[in-house]
Amino acid sequence: MDQAYVVILFLFVLFTLLGTGVWVGLALVGVAYVGMELFGPSSGSTGDRMATILWSASSSWTLTALPLFIWMGEILFRTRLSQDMFRGLAPWMSRLPGGLVHTNIVGCTVFAAVSGSSAATLTTVGKMSIPELRKREYPEHMVIGTLAGAATLGLMIPPSLTLIVYGVTINESIIKLFFAGIVPGLVLAAMFMAYVGIYSGVGRDWKPVNETGMSFAEKLKNSRFLIPVMLLIATVIGSMFLGFATATEAAAIGVLGALTLAALQGSLNWKSFTESLMGATRTSAMIALILAGAAFLSLAMGFTGLPRALADGIAQMELSRFELLMVLLVFYIILGCFLDGISSVVLTMAIVEPMVREAGIDMVWFGIFIVVVVEMAQITPPIGFNLFVLQGMTDHEMGYIAKAAIPMFLIMVLMVFVLILFPDLATWLPDNIRQTPGG
């Protein structure tokens, strides 16, 4: 059967299922089942193969880190730590060019390091910063745009759920991927801050209410509110960096640390505990189902010969590394308009991985490339997830929010070229860390 017809058939089944409201994970299983029935071996039952692959994909030890990091973020989301974070950051940000808008970016960067989820980062930081920035009359489009863009740092700065999923999908070290994301994540945050600083100097609508100055001693006093979060970040990331813990063990340490902080803060009760646990369970089950469906689809696609044919086709085009990366950049931006980041990664990796390895591209570096591009999907209509979250928080029209996020999108595109020009940004740190067994 011609490969073009295989692609058309798979896409038809996939979009039919998605269009009827079927969950992404189940839609992937449905497409894979059709593929196995049509192209799989005649011996053996498709159902038996499906059961085997779904179980093996769901029982990965590495995947254990995922629900634990999600639970850690859920616990912190339901405590007063987010409010304390704003109180600790604001005095230091107010004197920078751009003023308190920087609290959106720095707040998202800090919370991303304990959450791993773009949505949790956006919701937590947005709830604390939007009312404060509106009160001080900062331009609304800057408040919304920086929040939409900076919240995507939750996908890159460890513990990143997308990097865990990517690592499990291609069987790469989670710890290496985590450390590969640190420097690019900080560089991207710095680029967002530079944009805010430049706009504050040239924007005609930049007329915020002046902040009353704080003495250095008062700033230090307020900084005590940052200590709990910073200690938790240092413990989780430090345990991996020093080789004391694998990613899964560090996630367990993070959960215990978050529970301890919440208890000491007086905001841990039975209701917040059960809500955080159920929230983490729902999110983890959704991601696990997507991963299991994608694993089954990868098996089905292997029988069609499509991944190999596509890789051979691109090889025959004799694209350079740069040309291949540009094709993938456009491909993932388009895909990101219709799928969330994790779905984009697991749905395409069976096809993309052989091409990338054939081109001699480092898979750890490529993981960061993928995450930057997937970050863009969070703020591109029609289904940019961060845009929907912001719409619910601000009551603005979707068009207004999408327009406010455009500068952040362009900065992320620029970040892709920075990564290509300076690959050591992503590879130096993971190449120089201590590894633990199973890390």
DSSP letter assigned to residue 383: S
Between 14 and 199, the higher pLDDT residue: 199
**Separation between Cα atoms, residue 231 and residue 81, nearest integer Å:** 12
pLDDT score of 255 more than 50: yes
Give the tokens for residue 428. 């130096």
- How deeply is 192 buried, as exposed, middle or buried, from its count of CB atoms within 10 A (0-12, 13-18, 19+)? buried
**Spacing of C-alpha 103 from chain mean position:** 20
Please give the tally of structural domains in the chain: 1
Give the range of the structural domain holding residue 140, as residue numbers without chain letter: 62-286+313-431
pLDDT score of 438 more than 50: no
| Residue 220 is assigned to a structural domain of this protein | yes
| Residue 385 is assigned to a structural domain of this protein | yes
Q: Is the peptide bond before 97 cis (omega within 30 degrees of 0)?
A: no
pTM recorded for the entire structure: 0.77
Segment 97-152, tens digit of pLDDT: 888 888 889 888 887 777 666 766 777 778 778 887 888 888 899 999 999 888 88
Amino acid at the residue 19 = G
**Separation between Cα atoms, residue 313 and residue 386, nearest integer Å:** 36
Rounded mean pLDDT, 147-159 = 85
Give the confidence band of 435 by pLDDT, cuts at 50, 70, 90: low
Tokens 């616990």, located at residue: 75
Between 194 and 305, the higher pLDDT residue: 194
Give the confidence band of 368 by pLDDT, cuts at 50, 70, 90: very high
pLDDT for res 187: 94
Tokens 């980062």, located at residue: 121
| Residue 296 is assigned to a structural domain of this protein | no
Rounded mean pLDDT, 68-86 = 74
| Residue 319 is assigned to a structural domain of this protein | yes
**Spacing of C-alpha 15 from chain mean position:** 24
Please state, for a pLDDT cut of 90, what percent of the chain lies above it.
14
Under 8 Å between Cβ of 205 and 151: no
pLDDT for res 186: 93
Which whole-number Å values give the CA distances from 123 to 78, 87, 276, 389, 422, in the listed order? 11, 17, 15, 7, 32
**Separation between Cα atoms, residue 315 and residue 324, nearest integer Å:** 10
pLDDT score of 376 more than 60: yes
Give the confidence band of 43 by pLDDT, cuts at 50, 70, 90: low
Give the confidence band of 362 by pLDDT, cuts at 50, 70, 90: very high
Among the listed residues 13, 62, 19, 54, the one whose alpha carbon sits nearest the alpha carbon of residue 37: 13
Give the confidence band of 214 by pLDDT, cuts at 50, 70, 90: low
DSSP string, 385-405: HHHHHHHHHH---HHHHHHHH
Q: Where are the alpha helices (DSSP H) in 204-340?
A: 216-222, 227-241, 247-265, 270-304, 306-316, 321-336
| Residue 136 is assigned to a structural domain of this protein | yes
**Separation between Cα atoms, residue 116 and residue 75, nearest integer Å:** 13
| Residue 307 is assigned to a structural domain of this protein | no
Give the tokens for residue 200. 């504050």
| Residue 13 is assigned to a structural domain of this protein | no
pLDDT for res 437: 47
| Residue 374 is assigned to a structural domain of this protein | yes
